[in-house]
A and B are shown apart, each in its own frame.
Chain A
Amino acid sequence: MNADSPRRRALRRFFQHRLAVLGLVVVVVFILAAVLAPWVAPYDPIQTSWTRLRKPPSAAFLFGTDENGRDVFSRVLWGARASLMAGVVSVLAAMLMGVPLGLLAGLAGKWTDALISRIADAMLSVPFLILAIALAAFLGPALENAMLAIAISAAPVFVRLARGMALEARSADWFEAARALGNPPWRTALLHVLPNIVPPLLVQGTLAIAEAIIAEASLSFLGLGQQPPQPSWGSMLNSAQRFLTQAPWMAIYPGVAIFVVVLAFNVFGDGLRDALDPRSQRR
């Protein structure tokens, strides 16, 4: 008999999944880049220079320079801050809003469930990005508002997920046992049900971060997210589109950054799902 905790077994399964580990490594590299940007970025990301406009990539400027003479490499590094922060913070906020509401809906039932579920359904019937754009436009252009808009738009998915898992838990014998031991409803929800639904929430959360990063880039591209001159991948793409033929590197590098980090989060999330769900057998 192996005396591993479920957590240890999941970790072992995860590390057997090479692609997922690669995803995690890439994610960690981007996080390090974002955190260490002030120290590793070779140039100031905001300081403009008239002497080096739209220089192609070279040894001095790894990713070239933009239309204001700023180093694209430094801006991509600093832009990682906006993107990753928007991704992580907005998903955490979405979970904070969605999971308690979902648990409440699933466990309380009746009209509470009907009300919460209908609101979530209504929000899910509007495409994620459209909802986020509408909210961001309503709140005003700023990175914080973009994050809030993404969080609100992403919350219904967590409501649905938590509600579904709560309904499943409610019919479990251990749920009845928890009630028979005198647990008050809130304690049953937070202490008994929540730990059981953490794995799917973790998987959904990781995948949602990828979506949130795309959403932040889109909002910034539209001018609703990070405001210039602060760098963000989305706004870099926006200014790059006017110079696509003359200075393609201005678009390529932030674009590749978005692509790689989103792919990494997705692969990481898939690996997490395989590792956390003992029923899904790979190969």
Chain B
Amino acid sequence: MTPALAVTGLTVSFATDRGVFRAVDGLSFSVAPGETLAIVGESGCGKSVSSLAIMGLLEGNARVGGDLRLAGQDLLAMTPEARRKLRGADMAMIFQEPMTSLNPAFCAGNQIAEVLALHRGLSRHAAYEEAIRALDQVRIPDARRRAAQYPHQLSGGMRQRVMIAMALACRPKLLIADEPTTALDVTVQAQILELLDELKRETGTAIVLITHDLGVVADHAEQVVVMYAGRAVETAPGEAIFTHPEHPYTIGLLGAAPRLDGPRGRLASIEGTVPDPMHRPPGCGFAPRCPFAVAECTVTDPALTMLAPGHAAACLLAPLEAA
């Protein structure tokens, strides 16, 4: 089956005054329809830049290389106009900040109707009725009344539901959710993720879930890509990342996540910070922070190597023997 999204060797670089800055370096993954792939990593590792590159929303000084295919269509070979037409129709995105991602000048219903008018050419009335159905689909109670309300009258969770309704209004093949729950209350977070799961099953949309929360990954993703300093350091099935993490960075992330059954006390952290992308150390990018690093690590840059079906890690020491 053609994957909903296939990314091969994606690179994103920015030309700056200090030189060329590589934000994403050879990222590859693919997502099947109806599947969720999570991209995990700390701030500045290139998660959001990758998603903007896939959407074609980077502008100006950004250069995107590699191969991007949406249901087999080559995205990078398209004209900007053709890609624009795909946005909102075949691929959509929801953002981190539901409080500010809705246009304050439109009521919720008109905002969704506007997307339908744009991509499906529906009349005003038909689009509005469809918008109410879309609000209903994202489990907003009393959708008709809510549709007439303005963003400032809706709560954060409600607004994120409106954003999701807007993104899914045209039944896209791919939905990129860039930290969709970071700005929400914990209880609302769970509801939104649950909703995304249900909608994925109903519509067959593939979801790329960008997050720094491993807890989210455990319950909602079939596949995980762990990114560090612009590269994928480990890709694994959702379960395996918890049961057999292979990359020391992943192990560090897991150590930094609080567990109910673990010992109480100070949470572990990963010492140091992400290396300056302008001055990448030779060898493994994680070596300076890695508790397992050996001399070889500062010389040889490890490639992503397959360790088990669907599970790969970029570490010289992998597979780790019970670290």
A180-B150 in contact given A174-B104, A191-B114 (Cβ < 8 Å): no
A182-B107 in contact given A5-B150, A174-B101 (Cβ < 8 Å): no
Chain A residue with the shortest CB-CB distance to B51:
A180
- Of the candidates B55, B89, B107, the one whose C-beta lies within 8 Å of that of A5 is B107
**B100 in contact (CB, < 8 A):** yes
Looking at the complex, which of B90-98, B184-192, B257-265 is the stretch in contact with chain A?
A: B90-98
Chain A residue with the shortest CB-CB distance to B115:
A181
Q: Is the interface of A mostly helix, strand, loop or mixed?
A: helix
Chain B residue with the shortest CB-CB distance to A196:
B105
A176-B57 in contact given A192-B103, A196-B105 (Cβ < 8 Å): yes
**B2 in contact (CB, < 8 A):** no
A182→B89 contact, CB < 8 A: yes
Give CA–CA (A170, B56) in the complex, Å: 17
**A6 in contact (CB, < 8 A):** yes
B57→A178 contact, CB < 8 A: no
Looking at the complex, which of B79-87, B130-138, B202-210, B243-251 is the stretch in contact with chain A?
A: B79-87
Contacts of B85 in A (CB 8 A): 182
Chain B residue with the shortest CB-CB distance to A181:
B88
- Of the candidates A1, A182, A195, A198, the one whose C-beta lies within 8 Å of that of B88 is A182
Give A5 Cβ to nearest chain B Cβ, in Å: 6
B105→A179 contact, CB < 8 A: no
**A122 in contact (CB, < 8 A):** no
B100→A173 contact, CB < 8 A: yes
**B149 in contact (CB, < 8 A):** yes
A180→B118 contact, CB < 8 A: no
**B300 in contact (CB, < 8 A):** no
Give the contact-size bracket for chain A. 20 to 34
B93→A184 contact, CB < 8 A: no
Contacts of B152 in A (CB 8 A): 6
Contacts of A176 in B (CB 8 A): 57, 95, 101
Contacts of A60 in B (CB 8 A): none
Give CA–CA (A179, B91) in the complex, Å: 12
A182→B163 contact, CB < 8 A: no
**B166 in contact (CB, < 8 A):** yes
Chain A residue with the shortest CB-CB distance to B96:
A173
A174-B100 in contact given A5-B107, A181-B166, A182-B118 (Cβ < 8 Å): yes
- The interface size of chain B toward A, counting residues with CB under 8 Å, comes to 34
Contacts of B101 in A (CB 8 A): 173-174, 176-177
Give A171 Cβ to nearest chain B Cβ, in Å: 10
Chain B residue with the shortest CB-CB distance to A5:
B150
B100→A180 contact, CB < 8 A: no
For chain B, residues 91 to 128, give those with C-beta under 8 angstroms from any C-beta of chain A. Answer: 92-93, 95, 97, 100-107, 114-115, 118-119
**A172 in contact (CB, < 8 A):** yes
B114→A182 contact, CB < 8 A: no
A180→B102 contact, CB < 8 A: no
Give CA–CA (A198, B92) in the complex, Å: 29
Give A278 Cβ to nearest chain B Cβ, in Å: 9
Give B56 Cβ to nearest chain A Cβ, in Å: 9
B118→A187 contact, CB < 8 A: yes
Give CA–CA (A2, B148) in the complex, Å: 12
Give CA–CA (A125, B88) in the complex, Å: 44
Contacts of A184 in B (CB 8 A): 81, 84
Contacts of B153 in A (CB 8 A): 1-3
Give B170 Cβ to nearest chain A Cβ, in Å: 9
Give CA–CA (A181, B145) in the complex, Å: 24
**A230 in contact (CB, < 8 A):** no
**A68 in contact (CB, < 8 A):** no
Contacts of A180 in B (CB 8 A): 55, 57, 87-88, 92-93, 95
A174→B87 contact, CB < 8 A: no
Give CA–CA (A196, B102) in the complex, Å: 12
Chain B residue with the shortest CB-CB distance to A172:
B100
Extra contacts, 19 of them, besides A173-B100, A181-B88, A182-B89 (Cβ < 8 A), are A3-B153, A5-B150, A6-B105, A172-B100, A173-B97, A173-B101, A176-B95, A177-B93, A177-B101, A177-B163, A180-B57, A180-B88, A181-B115, A182-B84, A182-B86, A182-B87, A182-B88, A183-B88, A191-B114
| 10 examples of A-B residue contacts, CB within 8 angstroms | A2-B153, A6-B150, A173-B101, A176-B57, A177-B102, A181-B87, A182-B89, A182-B119, A196-B105, A198-B105
Chain B residues in contact with chain A, CB under 8 A? 55, 57, 81, 84-89, 92-93, 95, 97, 100-107, 114-115, 118-119, 145, 148-150, 152-153, 163, 166-167
Chain A residues in contact with chain B, CB under 8 A? 1-3, 5-6, 172-174, 176-184, 187, 191-192, 195-196, 198
